[in-house]
Structure 1
C-alpha cells in the first residue's frame, strides 16, 4: 500500500499561526501597567546621576507612582484580570471594602500573567530599596522608597483580597449596593 504523505500530527499550512500569534487584547493597558512602575524604578535608580536635583527626582517618582496606582486600580485591573476593588465609607464613618470579579473564563491568560507579575515583583523591589536605605542610612530617600512600597503594596493587597473574596460578578455587587442604599434612604424618611 502506498504511504500517504499526509501526517495527522503536523498542522496544515496556516493552522498553527493562530496559536502562536495569540494577541494580547489590551496592549496599551498592558504596556501602561508596566510603564509607570518601571519608570518610577528607573528614575529612582538614576537619581545618583542627578545629585543636585533631589526635589525634582522625588516629585517625578511620586507622580509616576501615583499614575501607576490610579492606572492599576481603575484601568488595568478591570481590563486585564477582570477585578476591581475600592473602599466605601458610610455616613457614620464605617469603612467597607468592596470587591468585584468577572467570571474566570473571560480573562486572557497572557494579560493575567503580565498583570500579576507586575503586581508582585515591583513591591518586592521597593521593599529591597527600603531595607537598603535603612541599612545605608540614606534617610532623605527613605520617604520616597516607603511611598513606592506603600502604593505598590496597597494595590497588591487589594487585588489579592479581590481575587480571593470577589467571586460574584459586577452586576450582582452593583445591585446589592443600590438595594442597600435605597433601604437606608427609606429608613431615613420614616
Structure 2
C-alpha cells in the first residue's frame, strides 16, 4: 500500500496487535475474505461513502432546485460532521488499519497520536484504494465548490464550503500523517531485524 506523506512532525505513536478474534481496530465487523487480499468490510465501505455522497449531492441539488440556505446548511453540515466522525473512528480502522487523534497540551501545542495495524496482510487492497480515493477527492471537491461560490458571488455559501473543507481536510491530514508514521515503524522494525540477525551471526562465529 502506498501513501503520500506530509512533512515530519514530532508524534507520539502506538501500535495495535492484530487478532481476528479481537474487537477494536480489527474485529468490529464480520469479515469476509475476497480477491485483493485481506478481509472485506462492506458495511464500513458503504458508510465511508454514504455521508459524503449525501452532503455533496444535497449541495448540488440545493443549488439547482433553490432549496433554502438554512435547510441546506443544516443538512450538509450534519452529514459532513457524521462523515468526519465515521471516517476518523470507524472506517479508517477497518479499511486501512489506521487511527489518529490530536490533543492540545496545556501550553497550547498540538500532539499527534497514531495507531496502525501490524499485519498489513489483513488489509484489503481494493477497499484501501477506495478509502484513499474518497478521502483525497472529498476536500478537493469542496475546494472546487468554494471557488464556484466566489466566482458566482454567492459568498454566503462559502460558510458551508469552509466547514466541509475543514472537516474532510482534517481527516485527510490526519490519515496521511498516520500512514507516514506507520511506514516509519515498519522500516524501523525491518532495520532492527537486520541488525539483530547480523549481531547474532557474529556472536555465533566467535
Scaled by the length of structure 1, the TM-score of the pair is 0.73
Q: How many residues align?
A: 152
Scaled by the length of structure 2, the TM-score of the pair is 0.67
Aligned partner of 1:44 in structure 2 is 59
- Write the distance in 2 (CA, Å) between the matches of 1:19 and 1:75: 20
Aligned partner of 2:46 in structure 1 is 31
Q: RMSD of the alignment, in Å?
A: 2.3
Contact map agreement 1:82 1:102 (CA 8 A) in 2: yes
Which residue of 68, 80, 84 corresponds with 1:65? 80
- Write the distance in 1 (CA, Å) between the matches of 2:128 and 2:61: 30
Aligned partner of 1:96 in structure 2 is 111
Contact map agreement 2:36 2:125 (CA 8 A) in 1: no
Judged with a 3 Å threshold, the aligned counterparts in structure 2 of structure 1 residues 69 and 52 are, in CA distance, closer, same or farther, namely: closer
- Given the alignment of the two structures, is residue 86 of structure 1 paired with residue 101 of structure 2, yes or no? yes
Judged with a 3 Å threshold, the aligned counterparts in structure 2 of structure 1 residues 30 and 136 are, in CA distance, closer, same or farther, namely: same
**Bigger Cα displacement from structure 2, 62-71 vs 134-143:** 134-143
Larger helix percent: 1
- Given the alignment of the two structures, is residue 133 of structure 1 paired with residue 178 of structure 2, yes or no? no
Aligned partner of 2:181 in structure 1 is 165
Question: Which structure is larger by alpha-carbon Rg, 1 or 2?
Answer: 1
5+ long unaligned stretches in structure 2: 1-32, 187-206
Aligned partner of 1:119 in structure 2 is 135
Contact map agreement 2:104 2:110 (CA 8 A) in 1: yes
Superposition deviation, residue 130 in structure 1: 0.6
**Bigger Cα displacement from structure 2, 48-57 vs 72-81:** 48-57
Superposition deviation, residue 163 in structure 1: 0.3
**Bigger Cα displacement from structure 2, 65-74 vs 20-29:** 20-29
Alignment of 1:142-157 (within 5 A): 142-157=158-173
Q: Higher relative CO (CA 8 A, sep ≥ 6), structure 1 or 2?
A: 2
Secondary structure of 1:146's aligned partner: helix
Superposition deviation, residue 50 in structure 1: 4.5
Judged with a 3 Å threshold, the aligned counterparts in structure 2 of structure 1 residues 93 and 48 are, in CA distance, closer, same or farther, namely: closer
Superposition deviation, residue 93 in structure 1: 3.8
Which string of whole-angstrom CA distances, capped at 9 and with x for unpartnered residues, describes residues 8-33 of structure 1?
xxxxxxxxxx9769896211110000
**Bigger Cα displacement from structure 2, 101-110 vs 62-71:** 101-110
Secondary structure of 1:166's aligned partner: helix
